[in-house]
Structure 1
Amino acid sequence: MRVDGRDIIVSGSLLQPLHRRTNDILRLTFALVFLVVIVTSSLVTRRDWVALERSISDIVGVLTPTQSNLVYLVYGIAIMALPFVILIGLIVTRQYKLLGAYAAAGLIAILALSITANGIAAPRWHFDLSDRLNTTLSQFLDDPRWIAMLAAVLTVSGPWVPARWRRWWWTLLLAFVPIHLVVSAVVPARTLLGLSVGWFVGALTVLIVGTPALEVPLVGAVRALGRRACTVSALRVVRPAGPGPLVLSADCMDGDSSAVVELYGPNQRSGGALRQLWRFLTLRNDETAPLQTSMRRAVEHRALMAIAVDDLGLSNTRTLAVAALDRGWTLYAHSEARGEVLSRAAPVAAAWTSLRGLHEHQISHGDLRAVAITVSDDTALFGGFGNAEYGASDTQLQSDVAQLLVTSTALWGAEPTVTSAIETFGRDAVLDASARLSKSAMPQRLRQSVPDVKTVMSSARDEVKGQTGADRIRAETITRFSRSQLIQMVLLVALVYVAYPFISTVPAFFSELSTANWWWALLGLAVSALTYVGAAAALWACASEKVNFRNLTIMQVANTFAATTTPAGVGGLALSTRFLQKSGLGALRATAAVALQQSVQVITHLTLLVFFTAVAGASANLSHFVPSTTVLYLIGGAALGIVGTFLFLPTARRWLATAVRPRLSEVAHDLVELASEPKRLALIVLGCGATTLGAALALWASIEAFGGDTSFVTVTVVTMIGGTLASAAPTPGGVGAVEAALIGGLAAFGVPAAIAVPSVLLYRVLTCWLPVFIGWPVMRWLTKNDMI
């Protein structure tokens, strides 16, 4: 390469790989939004579209038919030639790899608008085209498939062609809107659909195949370095551009013998804007640095921070030049890093002493990975500075201490790291910073640089507790929304979803309530409340009576909310386990207690089901609940097939042996131990039985409230069988399935639908919906009091 009469040797490949820019993501997003707007507006307000187009056309449509045909002729020829001009341009510029994407985008755009119910054909639209000019070339102007194809190939070829060509081509394509209005042909809405489809297909294709980086302005970079006393004699590519900058090593004939040159293209760092925005939206204000409005500002900030730290003698590089180059590129040149990368060979106190020097001048680093720290003459020096801040807040300074705790612990271990940190920063500062030793508070780049970072953070946190005498270190909440808040939000949305079917039956249900006997309804409500006492007693006994029974009973109300708003009731199990953990039980013991309660509940339920079915079978016909022989054969065959599959596949066998079998063994062991404690076993069985029989009694009271006449044994069978069948329903709380199963079961035993339907709805209100709506504030109260 020749610059200002000098020959400069350039070694290494400057070819930059295709990559997905933020521009590509934004283009696809805007194209999708545009497509949704066009489709929605054309379907919802199509009459208004047509009326608006006709009124505008009547105003500006001043051409005679002959003039209109001439305009159609000229523009039609241009539109016909446009895709071939684009194709020739790609071939001339030798973009051969783009031809496949060019053809694919065009064909997909055409097919997308050609698929109908009868196969692939030209679509029929709802717009009136009776006044369309009847010329051959006008067909290309009126056919949305052609417009879609042009928009798709224009979008695909855009990143590879000069900006002037791209602007002229898009201007020509978009000219169809005013041309249609001027010649009084009312079809812009139809062609706008083709434009939106083509733009979306093209944007999706560009995102898949990637876009090229721009030509590297090496001449401007050499001249910028020359103005900073570095006359370049040779350039060597250290790392090609991609997600990060293009890094070169420059040999200088004067001044520094060599320099590191980082060249940022206009799209090299564009992903950083989205990351900054995401951090700003998800993290609290004191956790996020000020937003950098452009890539150039981000580079300048890094260079200025390097100058500030170098003034303190703590930077391992020296800023040489920052310059704006042609075509949107930015140059950042600095000296090579001094010292060796931080390792076990260095003294553990070196990094802590240097970090204290930064903090004394209110400077935070923000990226204290081992690769960003070097050691020279037993002095730790810092590099990077992409996340450094001058005038840092206390939160940012604490984050630095926490990051160095992780990095140092990974190198030297927890004991010498924490000792050195306390000697340098003091007990209180290290204890406050250790609250940030969590996944959410630790930057992802640092977590990825440390092997087994979870164990490292845990050991550092334990060592801080040991050396400071702290009983507990509460994890710092750094996000705008905590995990519990997100869970509650999801549960609330799920509650609205599951409540919708019930809300639709409210008018008819309230009309039936006028005939109900409220004393029976109150009895059903009281029995429903007693079921929570029974469930609490069972879990209390399973937990070896080591938790507060009163709080455990209150938790059962919140448990109903969590179980109802999550499929298969997994939320209730998780809430029970969390409550036991907060009450002092270990994670393993809490999980075992919940598993034991569920096991006894299933055994008790099945035992009662067999007993009451036998009693009811003597006086009632249970054939309604017994599947046909064909169904039984199918169920048996499917069960045998599943068992055979698990026995045949080695992976499935290993899963059964390593994951399922140990848990079943633990439950069986707990059941055997429970059998040796009659009082505790009796309390658990009574509690589980009260839960099952209480639900049946509540349904029986609801039937009596509407004047029904059926036995308690019958209602118990319906409740247990119906609940068992509905438990497999994918809806949260079995909504819909429970109601259908109970109404069908009562009808099978002769209960009229006029009584069964309101009775089941009243039963669900008493046992499900009232506890659910009460459970929401109860759950918030438990959270506020740190019980869950």
Structure 2
Amino acid sequence: MTQGVTHGTRKGASEAPSEAPERRPGAAVAVPVDEPAQPERIRRPGDALRFVAAVAGLAAVLLLVSIAQGTATGLQSDIKGSTERAPRFLLTMATLISSFGVLAVPVAFAIERLFRKDGVRVAIALLAAVIAFVLTIVLDDWVVPVAPGGVLDSLIWGDSKTAPVHTDITPVIAFVTAVGMAGRARWQAAVWTMIGLAALTGLTASYASVAALAATYFLGRAIGHGTLYAVGTPNPRPSGTAVMNALAKLGYRPVHARRVPTPADEPRAYDVAVEQGTGRRLPHGDWQLRVVVLDRDQQTAGLFYRVWRLVRLRAATPRRALRSLRRSLEQEALMAYAVHSADARTPRLLGTSEVGTEAALLAYEHVSGPTLDRLADDEITDELLVDIWRQFQRLQAGRLAHRRLEGEAIQVTEGRAHLIHLRVGEIAAGDLALRLDLAQLLTTLALRVGPERAVATASPVIGDGTLAGVVPMLQRVALTRATRAALRHDKDLLTRIRDQILRLKPEGEAPPIRLERFRPRTIVSIVALTLAAYIIVPQLSSVNLGQLLSSAEWWWAAVGLAASAVTFVAAAWMLIGFVPERLPLWRTVLVQLAASFVKLVAPAAVAGVALNTRYLQRSGVRPGPAVASVGASQLMGLATHILLLILFGFVTGSTTNATKDLAPSRTIVIILLALAVTAGIALTIPKVRRFVAARLKSMFSGVVPRLMDVLQSPRKLITGMGGIVLLSAAFVVCLDSSIRAFGGALPLTTVIVVFLTANAVGSAAPTPGGLGAVEGALTLALTLAGLSAETATSAVLLYRLLTLWLPVLPGWAAFAYLQRKEAI
């Protein structure tokens, strides 16, 4: 990176002027600063955050209006009735003022900015206004007429005289948002008063609804913030010279400074040489101070990740995902003083100061030396590791949590460790935070020197009991993002750390503590359930449930219930057939019934595989053969499922016209070919190919030898294959009975195709029991097959009741019984 010198020139970094002029503390100085040229424009993370918030607000308005149209209509009617009773003179004046002022006030503000030579900001705001105007024209005049009945129609009130978004106000809101009026209270009051009067005029004149105005506000804000982030804003960060002038206010006399390279998401830092004779004890050398600069626009960097971690992980103390500049300055300063007071080795904080209104600085004594992640392997001695653990022990004794003990947070000077990067630390930390710190430091050191040396050097310093207490915390989710990325190259490192600790203290073994409030797949489940509700609820609204229930033939439901019960016996045969060892039938049936309870908290395929594997191990089958046996049954079940789907799909498509919509069309063929080509191209990438091969190997390792063992016993083969066929047949009978219970009828081959298709979708869906995916696929397929929407929806609900929900209670009882018997 090209380095430049601002505000003066200098021949060498270590040279000092022969005569330093006398300066008063706080006087402005022209200090030479070696730093790269700062960009004229930057993209502020805060603009991206506000853009996302505005889009979320717009989506919320559309969602609320679409599901609460009656409430919106009532509110609109109440407002219109109230305004009609208002004095006509006041309404006329408001209309005249807003018609003129809603454009005049922004124009006046733009002229004022131009006189102050701020034309770039006005140009950006004008661009946002143009984008907003074009977009509103497109929405009002093109999208709504082309797609009647769409989501935008929910914003239109009455006899379609209103528009979904307000064409006059949206550009003004976008302009005001992009131009920025922070600190100009009078201009803000004038502009938003005019916008409010224009909105009131739209309501009284019945050409804008309440929902449309709310959507207009969020749309204008989104366009304004989005334009700001896309184009960038003038860089408000103070220069290095301004930082040095602020440092001089602390009584130091800087003579030279250089910018220290830091990651993009880290604060700026400067090494500073100062004149001696300040009355403060400073280290000798070229550089005496390390100045860290906190820029206001950087406080929102990484906010989405911090919010995600804050919501997802359990914590002993509440933390803020978003902090003000003042809050960040106070937290880092307090942590620095606390660490120094605890006698842990860290650069001494000498002072803090604001740098204008957009930044603040912290001045530390300069400590030279590389960080642990940059240290050569042969320089990391056992003595250095012991010293790191001693500094850590002092943190723990002072109830201080660093919360980011990565390699870059440990600086090594002459074989001694210094703890740095304290900005996210925590004082008066709870036990959970302290144990998380220990887990992080153990993993950081183990990545450099291996788990054996990391644990061996920690044991005499912090004790075996403390080490044993961290075993439940050794989870990937507890570590920092950089550490989790490093663990991808050494996936069994945490297990090896646990093993080393348990060798020192075997009685310290404990199950992992649940650190997550929820897992990412929970979000997937919620989204899938929401989509399922969006599909199914509108169909239920048109169903006359009373008439359907009174006319239903409930003896068909009894047949479906019996078929559902048979599925558990079939699943037991399927497992028994692929296990050479002898398994009791009825206990195996209970395991399949228990799986119906477990799959409510995990995807269906995952729950069955995990529970069956556990059952086989408890029955005396070694872990390797147990996994192979379950994998063999799953592999044969998948192959049989595909063959049946192809066979009956061909028979159905060629023998009946009732299901012509289910027959493969040209579009489906094109999609399948495109997927095949995409998969083929993906497999040409070595990394993708290795990933797929590793997953398949882990799933089906040992399956072929297990299948060979089964093939040597015809009785086992017949039992296993018979269970697979009986399982599918029982589900088909249950679905067909559910259809007939509500007066529907479809050819048996069609029902088979529908079931096989929906079952494949449900197995692939990452939701518990295939929730959402199965219902949506079944309802759509049955409707395409010729059933009415009412009959298809009712049949699917009955089928899922019989196969998913009714077995839950007996499944829970079976699960509890098997646990008491230590069978699972």
Q: Check whether TM > 0.5.
A: yes
**Aligned match of 1:111:** 134
Give the corresponding residue for 2:775: 735
Q: Which amino acid aligns with 1:10?
A: V
* Counterparts in 2 of 1:288 and 1:478: CA distance versus 1, 3 Å: farther
User: Judging changes above 3 Å, is the alpha-carbon distance between structure 1 residues 128 and 469 closer, same or farther for their aligned structure 2 residues?
Assistant: closer
Task: Mark the CA change 1:760 to 1:432 in structure 2 (over 3 Å): closer, same or farther.
Answer: same
Q: Of the two, which has the highest radius of gyration?
A: 1
Aligned residue number for residue 531 of structure 1? 567
2:190 to 159, 171, 178: 171
Deviation at 1:333, TM superposition (A): 0.8
Q: Which residue, out of 104, 111, 115, partners 1:85?
A: 111
Q: State whether structure 2 residue 713 is matched by structure 1 residue 677.
A: yes
Residue 405 of structure 1 pairs with residue 442 of structure 2: yes
Choose 658-667 or 547-556, whichever is displaced more: 658-667
Scaled by the length of structure 1, what TM-score is found? 0.76
2:546 corresponds to which letter in structure 1?
P
How far, CA to CA, are the matches of 2:778 and 2:112 in structure 1? 62
1:575 to partner: Cα distance: 1.1
Quickly say closer, same or farther: Cα 1:44–1:461, change in 2 above 3 A: farther
Structure-2 separation of matches of 1:28 and 1:260:
36
Partner of 1:95: 120
Matched, 1:510 2:539: no
Deviations 1:227-257 (A, max 9, x none): 5442222333335896433322222112435
Please give the per-residue CA displacement for 1:18-62, whole angstroms capped at 9, x wherever unaligned. Answer: 133335513652475279659959766333333333334547358
| Aligned counterpart, 1:198 | 220
| 1:217–1:329 Cα contact (<8 Å) kept | no
Distance 1:73 1:671, change over 3 A: closer
1:468-504 Cα deviation digits (max 9, x unpaired): 3359552221123367977887787688678756894
Alignment partner of 1:232 is 2:254: yes
Residues 248-267 of structure 1 correspond to what in structure 2 (within 5 A)? Answer: 248-254=270-276, 255=280, 256=282, 258-267=288-297
Q: Does 1:364 align with 2:394?
A: no
The more displaced of 762-771 and 426-435 is 762-771
1:329 maps to what in 2?
Answer: 359
Q: CA deviation at 1:420?
A: 1.9
Out of 429, 437, 452, which is 1:392 matched to?
429
Bigger mean CA deviation after superposition, 416-425 or 500-509: 500-509
Query: Mean Cα displacement is larger for which, 550-559 or 457-466?
Result: 550-559
Q: Measure, in 2, the Cα distance between the counterparts of 1:455 and 1:703.
A: 51
Check conservation: 1:250, 1:259, Cα contact below 8 A.
Answer: yes
Q: Report the Cα offset of residue 433 of structure 1.
A: 0.8
Match of 1:268 among 274, 298, 307: 298
Aligned equivalent of 1:214? 236
Taking structure 1 as reference, are residues 494 and 453 closer, same or farther at Cα in structure 2, changes over 3 Å only?
farther
Residues 365-444 of structure 1 aligned to structure 2 (within 5 Å)? 365-444=402-481
Whole-Å separation in 1 of the counterparts to 2:431 and 2:457 = 20
Contiguous gaps of at least 5 residues in structure 2: 1-6, 8-22, 66-70, 146-152, 763-770
State the AA in 1 paired with 2:269.
V
The DSSP-based 3-state class of the residue aligned with 1:267 is: helix
Cα distance in structure 2, aligned partners of 1:162 and 1:693: 69
Name the count of aligned residue pairs. Answer: 744
Q: Which residue of 2 aligns with 1:134?
A: none
CA gap 1:694/1:328 in 2 versus in 1, 3 angstroms: closer
Paired letter, 2:419:
F
Q: Structure 1 residue aligned with 2:755, among 723, 728, 751? A: 723
Offset, 1:466: 3.5
Say if 1:767 and 1:322 are closer, same or farther in 2 by CA, change over 3 A: same
* Contact 1:535/1:688 (<8 A) preserved: yes
Give the corresponding residue for 1:572.
604
Worse-superposed segment, 202-211 or 501-510: 501-510
Task: For 1:282-361, list aligned pairs within 5 A.
Answer: 282-286=312-316, 289=319, 294-342=324-372, 343=375, 344=377, 345=379, 346-347=381-382, 348-361=385-398
Contact 1:366–1:396 under 8 Å retained in 2: yes
Deviation at 1:588, TM superposition (A): 6.7
Question: Partners in 2 of 1:592 and 1:408 — Cα distance?
Answer: 37
Q: CA deviation at 1:110?
A: 1.0
Amino acid at match of 1:322: T
Pairing 1:460–2:497 present: yes
Amino acid at match of 1:349: V
- Mapping 1:603-682, distance limit 5 Å: 623-624=655-656, 645=677, 651=683, 659=692, 670-682=706-718
- Consecutive unaligned residues of structure 1, counting only runs of 5 or more, are 131-142, 748-752
With over 3 angstroms needed to count, the CA separation of the structure-2 counterparts of 1:146 and 1:498, relative to structure 1, is closer
**Conserved? CA contact 2:170–2:217, under 8 Å:** yes
Q: Decide whether aligned partners of structure 1 residues 562 and 55 sit closer, same or farther in structure 2, where only a CA change above 3 A counts.
A: farther
8 A Cα contact 2:779 2:793, kept in partner: no
The answer to whether the 8 A contact 1:339-1:375 is kept is: yes
CA distance in 1, matches of 2:655, 2:79: 61
Find the counterpart in structure 1 of residue 148 from structure 2.
none
Worse-superposed segment, 147-156 or 113-122: 113-122
CA contact (8 A) 2:45 2:297 kept: yes
What is the root-mean-square deviation in Å for CA atoms of aligned residues? 5.5
Secondary structure, counterpart of 1:53 in structure 2: helix
Q: What are the equivalent positions in structure 2 for 1:22-171 lying under 5 Å apart?
A: 22=46, 24-26=48-50, 28-30=52-54, 33=57, 37=61, 40=65, 45-58=75-88, 60-61=90-91, 75=101, 78=104, 81-82=107-108, 85=111, 88=114, 92-93=117-118, 95=120, 99=123, 101-115=124-138, 119=142, 144-158=166-180, 163-164=183-184, 168=187, 171=190
Distance change >3 Å, CA 771–CA 543, structure 1 → 2: farther
1:15 CA drift (Å): 2.4
- CA, structure 1 residues 416+177, in 2 after alignment: closer, same or farther (shift >3 Å)? closer
User: Partner amino acid for 2:362?
Assistant: Y
Task: Tell me which amino acid in the other structure corresponds to 1:250.
Answer: V
Deviations 1:302-344 (A, max 9, x none): 2233233334543231111012343153221111125543344
**Secondary structure, counterpart of 1:237 in structure 2:** strand
Tell me the secondary structure at the aligned position of residue 395 of structure 1: helix
| 1:366-399 superposed Cα distances (whole Å, 9 cap, x missing partner) | 2221222233454432122223333332222222
Match in the other structure for 2:27: 4
Task: Look up the equivalent residue of 1:436 and give its one-letter code.
Answer: M
Letter of the aligned partner of 1:148 in structure 2?
T
What's the offset of the Cα at 1:706? 9.8
How far apart, in 1, do the equivalents of 2:158 and 2:664 lie? 56
Written as runs of structure 1 = structure 2, the 5 A alignment for 1:466-615 is 466-469=503-506, 473-481=510-518, 504=543, 506-513=545-552, 516-517=554-555, 522=558, 524-545=560-581, 552-557=588-593, 559-560=595-596, 571-583=603-615, 584=617, 592-601=628-637
Q: Write the distance in 1 (CA, Å) between the matches of 2:49 and 2:290.
A: 31
Paired residues of 1:535 and 1:556 also in contact (CA < 8 A): yes
Q: Distance in 2 between matches of 1:115 and 1:292?
A: 37
Distance 2:263 2:637 in 1: 62
CA contact (8 A) 1:305 1:385 kept: yes
Q: Which moved more, 1:208-217 or 1:768-777?
A: 768-777
CA distance in 1: counterparts of 2:493 and 2:43, whole angstroms: 35
